[in-house]
Amino acid sequence: MHDLSWPGSYGQKNDPPCPPDPPATPERRRRSDALKLSDEEVKAVRVAVRKLRRAFGSFNALAAMLDVPANTLRRFANPKGSPPTGTFAIHLAAVAKVLVEVLLGGKMVVTTPVIGRAA
């Protein structure tokens, strides 16, 4: 039978110490300067995203080919959105089947595929 009048062992200064509190804000790591694009290159990538969206039909189709969310493409295409990264430019050039230098130089030409005609 249990004796309910006897105090338990908790709260008797024999509890294990509490773990320390985590820091309030974790430190953010800076991105490498090697993958940052210049203003002209950012503008060229944004134009390329908009051209490829028209060529593939929608942001969703292009996002499926790039394996990124469609909202990320919309944000990169928007001039007021966050700037695209160099890694994204490399993936975009691979999907567009052009050289990265052509994409970043702003000289990319996109033609829509014609269904039913031999190339």
Per-domain boundaries in the chain: 34-105
Range with the lowest mean pLDDT among 4-13, 40-49, 73-82? 4-13
Q: Which fold has domain 34-105?
A: 434 Repressor (Amino-terminal Domain) (1.10.260)
* 115 pLDDT tier (thresholds 50, 70, 90): low
SS (H, E, C) 9-45: CCCCCCCCCCCCCCCCCCCCCCCCHHHCCCHHHHHHH
Residue 7 pLDDT: 58
Range with the lowest mean pLDDT among 12-21, 67-76, 86-95? 12-21
